[in-house]
């Protein structure tokens, strides 16, 4: 080998050795992921790491993560997980366990419980999401029951200036998410104690009938609405009430986006036959078992879910998962909805903990949406949903 070749090899090897270690983070391409992207960049800078952020839309994120975990390619070192996905993604030890040390007691119990499978923690909670009831405080008081909601919706709609209620009823996740607080308040359950589909109960059918009644006071086309359309109606003062996620709170008080600054208030879910509860929507962070940089990824998880980093995310509007941050005076002074967010999150209920939830939600959502579109009667929609879901559970 010539002297020139040897010199080139030395230079090449030196260059390879000087490359910073890397970390690949899969992030939801939405407001829930914005703070994590900023935190990942900060972590990379402080640790001299090359951090690659893979920004994926919600509808694609689950499929990409499932593919990586099932094939064990190790494409990602840390991943954002919507809590209903967790039972599926944690199957077959596809996620790395946190280890012997339990998460600290500052994490809210409702957020932490959905990070565990078979007594082992496989994730940490990052975004403390649970639904809130948004309403126009200049037009009404906080509704105690869903009957109160319907009464107010009729009155407001009759005034002719806006619709009394707006909801999402697009097939799949949107309609199921808006239906569950109603369903639970009316006494409905997705499954019986023996695991059989139970949504076609009298309580479940009554809840769907009530949803259709609320639809009479919602804007035309609500059967195709998702969160953006619901929020747009609130922001433009064309609807007075909705179920929504905390991510939309800041927009309601932003003069650049909202015609209702200071007029939207936030409450916990109304009750009916049972006490109202919100659906939990906590975003988790986990480490794929096949990650090529597992120790580094866990270092990132512990850092980004620590009180200091999480407070920075909370100051950007990310709902925390630590009780101490919900009680933090600086955060409470800046975010007026934090007390009710904590109240909602403490009692929030997770979607059924089954690896089949995505399939179940899609099937259930099709029939709920058809009922809202008027193509199926409520009892028939629930019976068909129960039959299809029984088939999914049997596979």
CATH code, 273: 3.40.190.10
Q: What is the pLDDT of residue 147?
A: 98
Q: CA-to-CA distance for 73 and 93, rounded, in angstroms?
A: 14
pLDDT in the model for residue 19: 57
- Say how far residue 54 (Cα) sits from the centre of its chain: 19
In a domain, 16, yes or no: no
pTM of the model: 0.91
pLDDT given at position 176: 98
Please state the length of the chain: 395
Answer yes or no: do 37 and 163 share one domain. Answer: no
In a domain, residue 12? The reply is no
Burial status of residue 86 (CB atoms within 10 A of its CB: 0-12, 13-18, 19 or more):
buried
Is residue 1 assigned to a domain?
Answer: no
Asked if residue 376 and residue 339 are part of one domain, the reply reads no
Do 120 and 157 belong together in one domain?
no
Give 158-197 as a DSSP string: HTTSSBS------TTHHHHHHHHHHHHHTT--SB-TTS-B
Give the pLDDT confidence score for residue 6 in this predicted structure.
36
Whole-number pLDDT of residue 20: 64
pLDDT reported for residue 392: 97
Q: Which domain holds residue 369?
A: 132-279+352-394
Q: Using an 8 Å Cβ cutoff, are 124 and 299 in contact?
A: no
Q: In a structure prediction context, what are the per-residue pLDDT tens digits for the chain, which is 395 residues long?
A: 444 343 334 333 334 444 567 999 999 998 788 999 999 999 999 999 999 999 999 889 999 999 999 999 999 999 999 999 999 999 999 999 998 778 999 999 999 999 999 899 999 999 999 999 999 999 999 999 999 999 999 999 999 999 999 999 999 999 999 999 999 999 999 999 999 999 999 999 999 999 999 999 999 999 999 999 999 999 999 999 999 999 899 999 999 999 999 999 999 999 999 999 999 999 999 999 999 999 999 999 999 999 999 999 999 889 999 999 999 999 999 999 999 999 999 999 999 999 999 999 999 999 999 999 999 999 999 999 999 999 999 98
Residue 309 lies in a domain: yes
**Does residue 69 form part of some domain?**
yes
Residue 302 is predicted with a pLDDT of 96
Please provide the distance, in angstroms rounded to a whole number, between the alpha carbons at the two ends of the chain: 63
Contacts 24+ apart (CB under 8 A), 136-142: 136/240, 136/241, 136/260, 136/263, 136/264, 136/265, 137/263, 137/264, 137/265, 138/263, 139/240, 140/240, 140/241, 142/265, 142/267
- Name 61's Cβ contacts closer than 8 Å, sequence gap at least 6: 26, 28, 29, 80, 82
Same structural domain, 237 and 328: no
80 and 136: one domain? no
Based on DSSP, count helices (H) and strands (E) in the chain, helices before strands.
17, 10
Identify whether 15 is part of a domain: no
Structurally, how many domains does the chain consist of? 2
Task: Based on the fold, state whether residues 97 and 166 are members of the same structural domain.
Answer: no
């Amino acid at each position: 080998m010539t002297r020139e070749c040897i010199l080139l090899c030395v230079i090449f090897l030196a260059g390879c050795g000087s490359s910073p270690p890397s970390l690949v983070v899969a992030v939801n391409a939405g407001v829930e992921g914005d703070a994590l992207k900023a935190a990942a960049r900060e972590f990379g800078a402080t640790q001299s790491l090359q951090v690659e952020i893979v920004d994926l839309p919600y509808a694609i994120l689950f499929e990409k993560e499932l593919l990586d975990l099932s094939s064990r390619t190790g494409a990602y070192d840390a991943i954002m997980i919507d809590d209903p996905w967790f039972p599926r993604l944690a199957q077959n030890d596809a996620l790395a366990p946190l280890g012997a040390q339990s998460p600290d007691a500052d994490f809210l119990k409702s957020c932490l419980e959905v990070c565990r499978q078979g007594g082992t923690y496989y994730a940490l909670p990052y975004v403390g999401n649970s639904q809130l009831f948004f309403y126009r405080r200049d037009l009404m008081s906080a509704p105690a029951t869903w009957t109160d909601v319907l009464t107010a919706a009729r009155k407001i709609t009759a005034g002719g200036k806006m619709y009394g209620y707006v909801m999402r009823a697009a097939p799949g996740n949107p309609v199921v998410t808006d239906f569950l607080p109603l369903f639970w308040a009316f006494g409905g359950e997705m499954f019986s104690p023996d695991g059989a589909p139970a949504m076609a109960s009298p309580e479940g059918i009554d809840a769907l009938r009530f949803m259709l009644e609320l639809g009479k006071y919602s804007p035309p086309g609500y059967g195709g609405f998702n969160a953006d359309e619901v929020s747009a109606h609130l922001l433009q003062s064309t609807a007075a009430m909705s179920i929504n996620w905390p991510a939309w709170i800041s927009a309601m008080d932003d003069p650049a986006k909202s015609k209702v600054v200071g007029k939207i208030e936030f409450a916990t879910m109304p009750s009916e036959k049972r006490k109202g509860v919100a659906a939990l929507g906590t975003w988790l962070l986990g480490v794929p078992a096949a990650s090529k940089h597992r120790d580094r990824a866990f270092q990132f998880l512990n850092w980004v879910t620590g009180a200091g980093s999480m407070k920075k995310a909370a100051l950007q509007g990310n709902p925390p998962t630590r009780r101490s941050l919900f009680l933090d005076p600086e955060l409470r002074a800046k975010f007026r909805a934090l007390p009710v967010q904590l109240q909602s999150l403490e009692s929030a209920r997770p979607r059924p903990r089954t690896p089949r939830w995505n399939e179940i939600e899609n099937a259930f959502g099709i029939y709920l949406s058809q009922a809202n579109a008027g193509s199926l009667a409520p009892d028939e929609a629930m019976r068909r949903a129960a039959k299809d879901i029984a088939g999914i559970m049997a596979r």
